[in-house]
Amino acid sequence: LDLNPLAWSLSGESSPEDPPADSLTLQQALDQILIFCNAHLSLRHENQVAVFAAGLGKSRQLFSSTLTPSSASTSSGVRDSNTYQQFRVVDERIAEGVREVIAELQDEDASAGTVGLVGALSMALCHINRLNSSSSLVPNLSKPKPRIAIMSVTEDASAQYVPIMNCIFTAQKNNIPIDVCKIFGPDAVFLQQACHLTSGSYFKIQRRAGLLQYLIMAFLPGPSARKHLTQPTQDQVDLRAACFCHRKIVDIGYVCSVCLSIFCSPLPVCSTCRTKFPMATLKRLGFGAKPPGASNGAPRPKKRKIVGGNPASGTGTPTPGPATPA
């Protein structure tokens, strides 16, 4: 769960470009996400849910049904006969965790710093690995089939390219689909690649006010049920990478043949593995070439006017005339 306060405050404001009454605050989104979590738990008795928060520069686990017994008491300690106890525990624990994460934010953190999406994704993968290790002796039919759903409101951070790709490859190797619900903001390039590589679903909602409907229709069915349903697909996937030198997303990059580091321009030495490249290869790639019309910095010689004689003497050769003997 992306908890970027600046992005959520912008999402709660209606812009002239958006449809009427199309705004979504963090509290409204949290209420709908809790319904989505409870719907997942109610599909099967074996279903479990774990929620991780990605704050500014930090991440933490908000709730895990494997660590919290279904008979746990609520904050008030009073049971409501009209509410399923497990649903109430999920709602209160997650809402309390979100309030604590938001309360820990400082004013300077809201303007600077990146969302700890990589940390939350790594914690989710470690949690899944712990569940798989504990169920190694369980028959295959009873083993958990985990998947990850990311609620994103923040754009990509190019500086996190390497760690987030490591998380994506880990999920791909362990057959863990990653679904992304883009609630607000521009498309996230790295999250698109995560869904593409792990056979997940990437969906950018058109109306933020209808978040719950998108979650139920697009992300609630599991991988086995999605084979029989018409799911949203990615027509175009942005597979651009970020360079290792400036951490910027590039269209054309230069890859080191030893460590596969990506650079936005040819370099004589790889900054990652210190491999030296042949000068012939660098020249073929345009290394050291000057753009057209550029000078090398040396002063140009001044043009001197010559009038039919030696330019060094400054006097021309006399021409024959009436007063000059031929």
Q: Residue 294 above 60 pLDDT?
A: no
Better-scored residue on pLDDT, 319 or 32: 32
- Of 178, 194, 226, the position where a domain reaches its end is 226
Say if residue 118 is in the same domain as residue 154: yes
Asked if the structure places residue 76 within a domain, the reply is yes
Asked if the structure places residue 317 within a domain, the reply is no
DSSP code of residue 216: I
- Of 193, 226, 259, the position where a domain reaches its end is 226
Say if residue 104 is in the same domain as residue 138: yes
Say if residue 14 is in the same domain as residue 91: yes
Domain containing residue 263: 240-291
Say if residue 13 is in the same domain as residue 76: yes
Q: Residue 308 above 60 pLDDT?
A: no
Q: Residue 127 above 60 pLDDT?
A: yes
Q: Residue 261 above 60 pLDDT?
A: yes
Q: pLDDT tens digit string along 262-277?
A: 888 888 899 889 988 8
149 — phi, psi (to 5°)?
-120, 125
- Report pLDDT for 322: 52
Asked if the structure places residue 312 within a domain, the reply is no
Q: Residue 107 above 80 pLDDT?
A: no
Average predicted confidence (pLDDT) for the chain: 82
Better-scored residue on pLDDT, 41 or 21: 41
Asked if the structure places residue 235 within a domain, the reply is no
Asked if the structure places residue 154 within a domain, the reply is yes
- Report pLDDT for 79: 66
- Of 226, 248, 267, the position where a domain reaches its end is 226
Say if residue 183 is in the same domain as residue 265: no
Q: How many structural domains are present in the chain?
A: 2
Q: pLDDT tens digit string along 140-178?
A: 656 788 999 999 999 888 888 889 999 999 999 999 999
Q: What sign for the dihedral angle of Cα 163, 165, 167, 173?
A: negative
- Report pLDDT for 193: 92
As given in the structure block, the two tokens for residue 21 are 């009454």
0.75 exceeded by the pTM?
yes
Four-CA torsion 215, 38, 92, 9, nearest 10 degrees: 0
Say if residue 76 is in the same domain as residue 157: yes
Asked if the structure places residue 21 within a domain, the reply is yes
Better-scored residue on pLDDT, 250 or 15: 250
Mean pLDDT of 88-109: 85
C-alpha dist (Å) from residue 124 to 16, 168, 286: 38, 12, 44
Say if residue 219 is in the same domain as residue 258: no
Say if residue 115 is in the same domain as residue 212: yes
Name which of 26-35, 206-215, 291-300 the model is least confident about. 291-300
Say if residue 87 is in the same domain as residue 201: yes
Asked if the structure places residue 325 within a domain, the reply is no
Q: Residue 16 above 70 pLDDT?
A: no
Mean pLDDT of 308-313: 52
Better-scored residue on pLDDT, 164 or 74: 164
Say if residue 275 is in the same domain as residue 204: no
Name which of 47-56, 188-197, 213-222, 300-309 the model is least confident about. 300-309
Say if residue 172 is in the same domain as residue 261: no
Asked if the structure places residue 98 within a domain, the reply is yes
Mean pLDDT of 196-215: 92
Better-scored residue on pLDDT, 214 or 231: 214
Say if residue 132 is in the same domain as residue 268: no
Name which of 29-38, 64-73, 191-200 the model is least confident about. 64-73
* Extended beta strands in 146-209, E state: 148-152, 178-182, 202-204
- Report pLDDT for 40: 94
Return the CATH number at 199.
Answer: 3.40.50.410
Contact 65, 99 (CB under 8 A): no
As given in the structure block, the two tokens for residue 142 are 């009873």
d(CA 214, CA 9): 21
Mean pLDDT of 229-242: 81
